[in-house]
Structure 1
Amino acid sequence: MDDQGQDQDQELTVESPRQYKALSHPLRQRLLLALGGRSATVGELAAAVDGRKSTVAHHLKVLQEAGVVRIVETRKVRGGGEHVYRRTARRITVAGRDAGPATALLGAVAEECAKAPEEPLMVLRHLRLTADQAARLGAALQALVNEATEAPEGEPVHGVLVALYEQSAPRA
């Protein structure tokens, strides 16, 4: 579907247990990635994630109840209704340290990368940084993502995953 996402919030910070639980399932992560900046029906999403409509509908309901997706349109089709879904925000950030959503997100990204038509760019680098250096790097990464402009509809969608974290100290 063609969609510019005008009524989409810029960012959603996940903080509630319901939101964490909703994001902890890999298929829900894949559905959010498939929605990206566009709207889609259950059928379109089922095709995008190679899943059954009933399974996709169930997971969309969980995401909707957590406030991560919403119904933006209902169409009449064959005597019934067909919902069109959209993410509530363009960016979803996770507060706290719960590993469940991060693990699910990384798993969903790994599946996307495995299906990418070209070799994805992935860099993992460990740096020793002062608190000030880490803050500046984090701000620069955030600005880079915020300032990226999107190409017109019809161009390929690219995933961008940015992470900056302090490693835990090794246990003695």
Structure 2
Amino acid sequence: MAPPDDVLALTSPEQFAALAHPLRQRLLFALSAGAATISRLAARLEVAKGSVAHHLKVLRDAGLVAVVETRTVRGGTEQYYGRTAKRLLIDAPAPEGTAALFTAVAQEVNRSPDELLLTLRHLRLTPARAAELAEQLRRLVDECEEDEAADALPHGVLVTFYQQRTGRSV
């Protein structure tokens, strides 16, 4: 079973549309822990297998998941689905992609069993300092290694850094 790519740049309307449904976002988050069958995903998410199958097809058609392994079980074939990338990246932000990612994070935050860090802060920065901060944030996320310990739990990270529109040209 080949590991997923590190990063998938989201560019197509099909990818943004696939991310627009809450169950598909939950499926992607669930698959972050590793490949799983429709039955296992349905049980983990407490959703009907038919719904899981339908939404996995949409994610598969959008290139966000793939069948990564098949096994013969009791005369049938069991398919294991996995993410095609560990991280999703929107290279050229579009309103539908931004909305899809923020919706996904909002739903996960609302389901989080523990305290979370959620902060919005506005800063006045020179262009040079803004570029430096953006690079620091990029490095922080890129260099963070996952724990391999058995008691490691999944955590979500969304980093956004943007220049506010002020009404005057910059």
Which residue pairs with 1:66 in the alignment? 62
**Which residue among 29, 35, 54 is the counterpart of 2:31?**
35
CA offsets, 1:142-168, max 9 Å, x none? 111111111115211111111112223
- 4+ aligned runs moved over 4 Å, structure 1: none
- Please state how far the C-alpha of 1:92 moved relative to its aligned partner: 0.6
**Which residue among 161, 165, 168 is the counterpart of 1:168?**
165
Unaligned runs of 5+ in 1: none
Verify the 8 A CA contact 1:37 1:90 in the aligned structure 2. no
Unaligned runs of 5+ in 2: none
TM-score by length of 2: 0.86
**RMSD, aligned CA:** 2.1
User: How is 1:1-172 mapped onto 2 (pairs within 5 angstroms)?
Assistant: 7-154=3-150, 155-170=152-167
TM-score by length of 1: 0.85
Identity over aligned pairs, percent: 48
The total of aligned residue pairs comes to 167
**Which letter maps to 1:76?**
T
Cα 1:86/1:153, change in 2 over 3 Å = farther
Verify the 8 A CA contact 1:10 1:90 in the aligned structure 2. yes
- When structure 1 is superposed on structure 2, of 83-92 and 31-40 the one drifting more is 31-40
- Please state how far the C-alpha of 1:90 moved relative to its aligned partner: 0.9
